Amino acid sequence: MAFSRHEPITAKSTTGAVRQAAKYYTYRTGSDLEAGGRTWATGDGRTGLSLDDVRHELREHATTSRQAYIFVLSTKQAALGVDDYRATLDGHYDHYYLIEHHNTDHPHCHGIGFRDKQFKKAELRTIYDELGARERSVERARDRQPERRAERDVPDQTDRQPSAEQQTHRAADQERGLER
């Protein structure tokens, strides 16, 4: 089940609130942080960015945009990637920056977005619906994978010789005593 939350930043200093959120999202504890860190992705297609890479842009957008939001997009049934999150967010923010987190049972991303107008409830509902549709699409594709593998594993009825690679693997398995 998808979850989407977009909260306006209403702090006295938008720039300070954006800076704090970005730092928290980047360095929040979790196994994904300890396994190599987290990187930022942008709405304009850039990925693998450090906090230092996006810090200046975040500050600039925080001072020039009328609205700044922090958001979270989460799914329960299927893990989405950066491109899925982007497709969900495109057209809803003038500029946005997101960072994936894999430190909970539910894969999710956090982000900071900028726009000139406040969100209306209907637009937030559209984002939620788009996220849910992406989750279901990824889930269906994942569920079809075993069927495709099973179809490929059905032996062909024609008499065919095993490929050289198959013969090599079979010989190696026999040497290790793994052949049935």
Render each residue's pLDDT in the chain as its tens digit; 180 residues. Answer: 888 999 999 888 999 999 999 999 999 887 777 777 789 999 999 999 999 999 999 999 999 999 999 999 999 888 899 999 999 999 999 999 999 987 777 889 999 999 999 999 999 999 999 999 999 999 898 888 765 555 555 554 444 455 555 555 566 556 655 443
95: β partners: 114
Residue 19 lies in a domain: yes
Residue 149 lies in a domain: no
Which residue range(s) make up the domain with 86?
Answer: 3-142
The predicted pLDDT at position 157 comes to 45
Residue 161 lies in a domain: no
How far is it, in rounded angstroms, from Cα 47 to Cα 41? 4
Give me the CATH number covering residue 71. Answer: 3.30.930.30
Q: If DSSP codes are grouped into helix, strand and coil, which group holds residue 179? A: coil
109: β partners: 73, 100
How far is it, in rounded angstroms, from Cα 121 to Cα 125? 6
The predicted pLDDT at position 12 comes to 84
> Which amino acid, one-letter code, is at 51?
L
How many independent structural domains does the chain possess? 1
Residue 81 lies in a domain: yes
Residue 44 lies in a domain: yes
Residue 84 lies in a domain: yes
In this structure, what DSSP letter does residue 30 have? S
Indicate the length of the chain as a whole number.
180
Residue 80 lies in a domain: yes
Closest CA to 113 of 47, 18, 27: 18
The single residue listed with the structure tokens 């925080």 is: 62
CA angle 36, 41, 44 (to 5 degrees): 160
The predicted pLDDT at position 76 comes to 87
The predicted pLDDT at position 28 comes to 87
Residue 136 lies in a domain: yes
In this structure, the number of other CB atoms found within 10 A of the CB of residue 137 comes to 13
